Amino acid sequence: MDETRNIFGTEDICAYFPDGRFGRFRSFIDQGLGGASLLSVVTRGYQNPFADLASTGYQFLSVKLADGTVFLALKGFEVFNGSNPPTRSDGSGAVYLAQGVGQMNGLLVQWLPPNSRTSWHTHRSKTEWVINLAGSCQRGQNDEGAVVDATDCSYLVLPNQAHFLQTGVLPALNLLVITSHNGGDPLNADDYTYREFDHSYPPT
């Protein structure tokens, strides 16, 4: 945990805007990506609070939720535009809105729609830090029926630790920070081992 936190600094404050809008603001700066950064805010407003950063190399994403809009400002990322953002494994409901790749670390902006779940897998030589930016999700490990809340927090997935995420009626927007411990591409899934779920989701 300490290794990941040392290379990936975070701040979490409440942001206020001149027109009275407010929201939770989070900033992330990854030294391992040569200064890649992500800013996020959840607000009831509809105007991009980061618009003034356009001239400084940031790209923008917005995701509408039932109780507001998530605005993201990203630097050092590849942003996937279009109606069909990529998935990473068969059977997973997660799609990926942006990614950044560095020497040791990779970043993924993950969107998990309502009533869906990711694949259930382990990775042999990677550590994954899951950070919930907005929405609501649950995480599971060795038992598909035993899940705990993973909303508004972060947790570390160690090598060879089985894990999956799932949502209920609300979607989830997550930031995944993946560290490779063997010098390989942190976003390459060649060391993943997948498990099969016994039951479909959501239950019918």
- SS3 track for 153-204: CEEEECCCCCEEEECCCCCEEEEEEEEECCCCCCCCCCCEEEECCCCCCCCC
Task: Compute the mean pLDDT over every residue in the chain, rounded to the nearest whole number.
Answer: 78
pLDDT of 4 above 50: no
Report the pLDDT value the prediction gives residue 76, as an integer from 0 to 100. Answer: 84
Question: Domain locations in the chain?
Answer: 2-195
- Please state which CATH number belongs to domain 2-195: 2.60.120.10
Report residue 85's pLDDT band, with 50, 70 and 90 as the boundaries: low
Average pLDDT (99-111) is 82
This prediction has a pTM of 0.84
Report residue 74's pLDDT band, with 50, 70 and 90 as the boundaries: confident
Q: What pLDDT digit, counting tens, does each position of 33-54 carry?
A: 556 777 777 777 677 878 888 8
Rounded to a whole number of angstroms, the distance between the first and last alpha carbons of the chain is 38
Above pLDDT 70, what percent of the chain? 77
Report residue 14's pLDDT band, with 50, 70 and 90 as the boundaries: very low
Residue of 117, 29, 40, 140 whose CA lies nearest to 76: 29
